Amino acid sequence: MERILAFGCHPDDVEFMATGTLALLAKQGCEIHIATMTGGEVGSPDKTSAEIKAIRLKEAAAAAAVIGAQYHYTGGHDLEVDFNSEYRRMTTRVMRKVDPTIVLTHPPMDYLADHEETSRLVRNAAYIASVPLYDQECPFKPTGRFPHLYYWNAMGLKDIFGRPLPLQCGVDISSVMAEKEKMLLCHASQRDWLAHHNGWDAYTGVLRDMAVAQGKLIGRAQGECFIQHLGNGHPQDNILAKLLGNNVVLM
């Protein structure tokens, strides 16, 4: 059985960009894990950081449960994610705990530096989690392989210069949109925060619009698109295509 780890920065990042694919993989019998680097500690106009963190971690666990996934909080702090030794150890410990065969995470270029740093940290952890002499105090044994690593699309479907990412494949998620929306709606506190801070309350509307836009790229009603990391050491075959068959369209 394949183990899948979707590793986002904040609670609700994975829901926006990859939970349709996770829902399909769950239906194929895969073991699904969702991790967040932070607890969303700064996303509230009227609660303390501790209060909103407790709420958002509970929401994240509830969202994961919709598709029978396990949720993991890495231990980072919102808007302070940094590619340093502390964060590298935290990220690698989650990687070792799950020992995934497939990892999904943020693309290297996205609108928020926290997302980009998370991408670097997850990419690094996917490679070094198998190194026995790294973090020997870790309670989890080193992994025994390099996982398949994929980056989901950028939020807003463009890089910081307004360009589309070099996407390689898309997943038809039309059959699981209900699960994807249900997972996002578990994050009620983030919806309230975005309405306050960003001045809009189109939470599920944004999710649907991005799914439709990505679906058009692959000729399907709704989609989620990915770039596969093909650097040295990582598997070169597209395992998503093997697992999801006709639901995957190469680009």
Q: Please give the average per-residue pLDDT across 229-249, as a whole number.
A: 97
CA dist 98 → 21, 74, 103, 235 (Å): 18, 12, 10, 18
Provide the domain count of the chain. 1
CA dist 117 → 12, 29, 49, 111 (Å): 17, 31, 21, 11
pLDDT-derived band at 223 (thresholds 50, 70, 90) equals: very high
CATH number, domain of 180, equals 3.40.50.10320
What pLDDT sits at residue 203? Answer: 76
> For the chain, what percent of residues have pLDDT higher than 70?
96
Residue 195 has pLDDT above 70, yes or no: no
- C-alpha–C-alpha distance, residues 203 and 70, integer Å: 24
* pLDDT tens digits, 107-141: 999 999 999 999 999 999 999 999 999 999 999 99
Domain encompassing residue 14: 3-250
What pLDDT sits at residue 190? Answer: 72
Q: For residue 241, which amino acid is it?
A: A
